Amino acid sequence: MANDAFGLGQSDRKVWSYLETVFGPEDPILAEIRERSAAAGLPDIQVARFDGRHLEIVARATGARRVVEIGTLGGYSGVCLARGMASGGRLDTFEYEPRHAEVARESFRRAGFADRVRIHVGRARDELGKIESHGPFDLLFIDADKVSYPDYLRWGIANLRRGGIVLADNVFRAAFGATGDWSEESVAALDLFNRELVGGGEFAATFIPTVEGLAFGVKL
Ligand SMILES: C[S@@+](CC[C@H](N)C(=O)[O-])C[C@H]1O[C@@H](n2cnc3c(N)ncnc32)[C@H](O)[C@@H]1O
């Protein structure tokens, strides 16, 4: 199709500023989390404003109640997910760095979700087993160490309900190979993740064409 010549999505600045104005993806609560995280010295690697909105809307549209996030950072994406959770929902979020978890705890408290979010501090691969008895889960958002994405996907296969959702950030990176901070091992893992998500027979999958690429699968 002729439209392929324009690539994915829309990168025209006019469209971006229009969407920023009309859809207003970041409210004062999220802006405060971004600013407080930066002031606390956390890396500026939370999801972009529209990714946050996508997370909320997918959670809301699917009526997600039992939500898992791998990679909490300062709680920005977690607040977006928690906003989308159905009533009585609970978010289990996993973070390796205690300092990040501390900032996130304050973010969830300020956003009014302290009683609906549990932050698990440690390596996600070691900690995930501790929540399995609370499953099956409705939604899994993956946004931590890239080398473990295939393992996190396997965890999702075992612990998401049928019709459950997996979302994963940064998946377009697999197209670039190793560059800058992105090691050969990380991009190979992202590539394996994408191929298993699409071709493994466990999910129907597509992607949301954000800047970094948000993979989106539904468990069959
Ligand atoms: C990209 S940031 C997450 C951003 C967050 N989802 C947001 O948008 O607000 C990745 C986070 O994963 C954490 N992390 C890295 N490896 C991890 C692991 N093995 N287990 C749990 N967390 C990990 C990092 O410390 C970092 O805070």
Residue 11, pLDDT > 50, answer: yes
Cα distances from 120 to residues 1, 31, 44, 60, 117, in angstroms, run 47, 24, 21, 23, 10
More confident residue, 181 or 198: 198
Question: pTM to 2 decimals?
Answer: 0.96
Give distance in angstroms: CA of 44 to centre of ligand 1: 11
- Structure confidence at residue 191 as a pLDDT band (50, 70, 90): very high
Ligand 1, residue 78: give the atom nearest the CA: 9
Provide the 10 A C-beta neighbour count for residue 14.
8
Give distance in angstroms: CA of 97 to centre of ligand 1: 8
Q: Report the pLDDT averaged over residues 104-112.
A: 98
Give distance in angstroms: CA of 121 to centre of ligand 1: 11
> What distance in Å separates the CA atoms of residue 57 and residue 95, rounded to the nearest whole number?
23
Provide the 10 A C-beta neighbour count for residue 10.
13
DSSP codes, 21-65: HHH----HHHHHHHHHHHHTT--S-SPPHHHHHHHHHHHHHTT--
pLDDT, one tens digit per residue, over 163-183 is 999 999 999 999 988 888 889
Could you tell me the end-to-end alpha-carbon distance of the chain, in angstroms, rounded to an integer?
Answer: 30
Residue 2, pLDDT > 50, answer: no
Q: Is 142 in the pocket of ligand 1 (CB under 6 A)?
A: no
> What distance in Å separates the CA atoms of residue 87 and residue 78, rounded to the nearest whole number?
16
pLDDT, one tens digit per residue, over 85-103 is 999 999 999 999 999 999 9
- Structure confidence at residue 5 as a pLDDT band (50, 70, 90): low
Asked if 207 contacts 200 with a C-beta cutoff of 8 angstroms, the reply is: no
Q: What integer pLDDT is reported at residue 1 of this predicted model?
A: 45
Residue 4, pLDDT > 70, answer: no
Q: What integer pLDDT is reported at residue 60 of this predicted model?
A: 98
> What distance in Å separates the CA atoms of residue 142 and residue 147, rounded to the nearest whole number?
12
Strand boundaries in the chain, DSSP class E? 66-70, 90-95, 117-121, 137-142, 160-169, 203-208, 214-219
